[in-house]
Amino acid sequence: MSKPVVLITGASQGIGAAIAKVFAREVRGVRLALVARNGRNLAAVARACAKPGGATGLAAGATAEIFPGDVSDEAAVAAMAAAVTKRFGAVDVLINNAGVFAGAPFAETKVAEFDRIVAANLRSAFLVTRAFVPGMLRRGRGDIFFMSSIAGLAAYPNGAAYCAAKFGVTGLAKVLRAETKGTGLRVCCVHPGATWSPSWAGSGVPPERIMPAADVARAFLDVYRLSRRTVVEEIVLRPAQGDV
């Protein structure tokens, strides 16, 4: 697609920033709508995506704009969707990457913390997708990615809120795929294992046990580049040395 509009939530760091950079580097003329709460970090990612040449090897004509906001808030999502549409028009690729992680034993998980994690990971994906799916259906074309996790496939101790949220993301993707089959939309749910992000700093886990964010980002690009005759419904990525 010529000059696609790619919207990425949670684009200020980690996998989201890596996805933005790989699309900027390899998709000629891509227009990036970068969304996250941290406007300062978001602006730095946008500058890296828009900087021509240099170490990034940027594809010609890439454009990156930032849209700071909380995608778990309904009013904020509506305002963001209006701003993105005004700036770029229709969104071709939606990447629901926003999320947070925190762990605690089930009995020690506070209600407010449970709600926060579910909102950041699951409610955000629902709100943002709901804002852009109608336009994709009208055009009969679109790519929607959901960032789940291996925690959305198998439960583990001390992950009540996070696993519940990611299982929800996995289910949300399955429902949307079932409802939009044959409409020209492709829905892919991505399940990464441990992937490097600032949250791993100081964890004591050796870097070689964690996947680089650039590898996970590459998977999104490669799935997007497949012909329209093919849909990757789910993809699981794990560290070569096993789960952390």
Average pLDDT, the chain: 93
Q: Give the integer Cα–Cα distance in Å for 88 and 216.
A: 26
Query: What single-letter amino acid sits at 22?
Result: V
Q: Give the integer Cα–Cα distance in Å for 177 and 232.
A: 11
Q: Which residues of 119-154 are buried (b: 16+ CB within 10 A; e: fewer)?
A: bbbbbbbbbbbebbbeebeeeeebbbbbbbbbbbee
Model pLDDT, residue 201: 74
* CB burial of residue 22 (10 Å; 0-12, 13-18, 19+): buried
If you average pLDDT over residues 140-168, what whole number do you get? 96
Count Cβ atoms below 10 Å from residue 156 Cβ, excluding itself.
12
Q: Predicted confidence band at 1 (pLDDT cuts at 50, 70, 90)?
A: low
If you average pLDDT over residues 3-16, what whole number do you get? 96
What SS3 state is found at 239? coil
Over 90: is that where the pLDDT of 197 sits? no
Over 90: is that where the pLDDT of 204 sits? no
Q: Give the integer Cα–Cα distance in Å for 225 and 36.
A: 25
> Of all residues in the chain, what percent carry a pLDDT higher than 90?
85
Model pLDDT, residue 54: 41
Q: Has 156 been annotated as catalytic?
A: no
Over 70: is that where the pLDDT of 60 sits? no
Query: How large is the C-alpha radius of gyration of the chain?
Result: 17
Model pLDDT, residue 55: 41
Model pLDDT, residue 53: 56
Over 70: is that where the pLDDT of 140 sits? yes
**Residue pLDDT, tens place only, 158-176:** 999 999 999 999 999 999 9
Contact (Cβ atoms closer than 8 angstroms) between residue 78 and residue 101: no
| Cα 182-172-147 angle, rounded to 5 deg | 100
Q: Which of 88, 162, 220, 224 is catalytic?
A: 162
**Residue pLDDT, tens place only, 72-131:** 999 999 999 999 999 999 999 999 999 998 889 999 999 999 999 999 999 999 999 999
Q: Which residues of 207-232 are buried (b: 16+ CB within 10 A; e: fewer)?
A: eebbbebebbbbbbbebbeeeeeeeb
Domain ranges within the chain, ordered by starting residue: 5-237
**5-237 architecture in CATH?**
3-Layer(aba) Sandwich (3.40)
Contact (Cβ atoms closer than 8 angstroms) between residue 42 and residue 12: yes
Model pLDDT, residue 125: 98
Q: Give the integer Cα–Cα distance in Å for 192 and 154.
A: 12
**3-state DSSP percent of the chain in helix, strand and coil, to 5:** 50, 20, 35
If you average pLDDT over residues 141-146, what whole number do you get? 98
If you average pLDDT over residues 235-240, what whole number do you get? 95
Instruction: Give the residue among 123, 106, 111, 25 at the shortest CA–CA distance from 70.
Output: 123
> Of all residues in the chain, what percent carry a pLDDT higher than 70?
95
Q: Give the predicted TM-score (pTM) of the model.
A: 0.94
